[in-house]
Amino acid sequence: MTSISSKFFYLPLTILALVLHFSVFGDSTHNPLGFKFLNEAYLAACLGVAFLLILASTEDASREFRILMYYAFYSVFVFTVLPAIFSFFTFGQPIAYGLIEERRMLFTFGFVPLLLLTKHISTLQFERAIIFAALIAVFLSWCFKFGLVPDLREEQTSWDRPDRSSIGPFLICFAYFYCIQIWAKGKSPINGEQRQKIFYLIIAAILLLTLVFATQTRQLIVLCLAFTLFSLRVKAVAWAASLCVLLSPFYFYPELLEILGLNMEFYGSSLDGNVEDGVRPHTIASVFNHLELVSWLPSGSLSLMWQDGFIPYFGEHFFLSDIGIIGTLFRFGFLTFLVVPLTLFIYQRIARNINTEMEFTYSVMLAFFVIWPLNGLFEYVQPVICMLFVIHALRARHLRSKERVHERRTYSQLQSCY
């Protein structure tokens, strides 16, 4: 009965939680299937469950929950509350608008529903939930590419590539990471059980091809390739050979590229060095001019809901989300040189305090370092960072479950071992 309930009730709920956690249907100018306020509703639910968990917590509460609460509260305070305060003193923006602007940091509380749901499913079911959720995003991406689903956006920003979409891109990337890790090791990163390597290799290839043909985002492709190199190292040669075999039909039958709608001019511009369209360099120049003007003091970030945000100051094409670490510099000024290493150190300590196995986490984070100039690591990648902590918590839970009851150590004894 327990197996049936976990398969038909908790497994679909876990898939739904992953879909919501990675904003597969989140409202965005790049997501053609986004629904307004869906992300906000999910974040409110995560906060509600988190506070109920805090109120109901006892000394016997899960150690992982308590540690990850520190991660969530620290992240929200540093990357939501502080920028809101900085923007109030720099631009006069009310703090409430600053909190609304940085609300995406609340995805740090996404570990709460995920860890609660994983208590009722097996490790294999959780890993399949990640794949199923990613395949949902893959299916919808291809459906949009071939015009099988409508575009729900009120504003279109990619007129040069109208068939591209951003439907759960980080979910697809994370599932790719997980599949490559299992293919490289032949076992689960959580409990060490043996897995079918060929199955995960095929899934990884499908995910990567979706990023190339449907999502069409260069930085995500670079992200996945960087992870492959960091994770596989010597085996990267075998992965490259597998890709060559997989892509060989496109070499012998070039018309397949036209059928799939591959934008060769878009990727060719990367090889020619014409990647920048002038917007990003202009934004970076504006940031450094502003920092010089305010003597490198923190400036926070502005919300469009308050006097059109940055538009009166820097124009319509000023987006901190496009300039990665430079956007962090704008928010924190000279404090960036303290906030960034301190946050990395705290995240690493929290992860090792839960479980000392860090190989998968290090590979993922190193890959994100590669695209840090284009994508803010702390401000926009929290769903992935949160999932890494969930993996750590599940690994620690598995190790603790293997101890005999009479040999099981207290939490203070466990903590002293890390």
User: What whole-number distance in Å separates Cα of residue 271 and Cα of residue 165?
Assistant: 22
Specify the pLDDT at position 276: 46
Percentage, residues of the chain above pLDDT 70: 80
Residue 82 has pLDDT above 60, yes or no: yes
User: What whole-number distance in Å separates Cα of residue 145 and Cα of residue 139?
Assistant: 10
The dihedrals phi and psi of 153, each to the nearest 5 degrees, come to -75, 145
Specify the pLDDT at position 259: 52
pLDDT in tens, 305-329: 998 889 988 888 888 888 889 999 9
SS3 250: helix
The dihedrals phi and psi of 356, each to the nearest 5 degrees, come to -85, -10
Q: How many other C-beta atoms lie within 10 A of the C-beta of residue 252?
A: 7
Output the average pLDDT for the chain: 84
pLDDT in tens, 213-226: 888 888 899 999 88
Specify the pLDDT at position 1: 47
User: What whole-number distance in Å separates Cα of residue 119 and Cα of residue 348?
Assistant: 25
245: tokens are 């075999």
Picking from 77, 70, 69, 68, the residue whose alpha carbon sits closest to that of residue 339 is 77
pLDDT in tens, 146-190: 888 888 887 666 555 666 788 999 999 999 999 999 998 889 999
190 CB-near residues (< 8 Å, 6+ apart): 123, 126, 127, 391, 394, 395, 398
Alpha helices in 211-324 (DSSP H): 218-232, 236-252, 255-260, 264-272, 279-293, 311-314
Picking from 390, 267, 379, the residue whose alpha carbon sits closest to that of residue 330 is 379
User: What whole-number distance in Å separates Cα of residue 46 and Cα of residue 51?
Assistant: 9
Residue 138 has pLDDT above 90, yes or no: yes
pTM value? 0.86
Mean pLDDT to the nearest integer, 254-274: 50
User: What whole-number distance in Å separates Cα of residue 392 and Cα of residue 356?
Assistant: 9
150: tokens are 């409508």
pLDDT in tens, 361-389: 999 999 999 999 888 899 999 999 999 99
pLDDT in tens, 12-62: 999 999 999 999 999 888 888 989 999 999 999 999 999 988 887 655 457
Helix H or strand E encompassing 85 = helix 82-91
Tell me, letter by letter, the H, E, C secondary structure of 104-142: HHHHHHHHHHHHHHHCCCCHHHHHHHHHHHHHHHHHHHH
Tokens 């094409």 locate to: 317
Query: What's 320's DSSP letter?
Result: G
Q: How many other C-beta atoms lie within 10 A of the C-beta of residue 400?
A: 15
User: What whole-number distance in Å separates Cα of residue 67 and Cα of residue 390?
Assistant: 11
User: What whole-number distance in Å separates Cα of residue 368 and Cα of residue 220?
Assistant: 9
User: What whole-number distance in Å separates Cα of residue 26 and Cα of residue 43?
Assistant: 11
Specify the pLDDT at position 252: 45
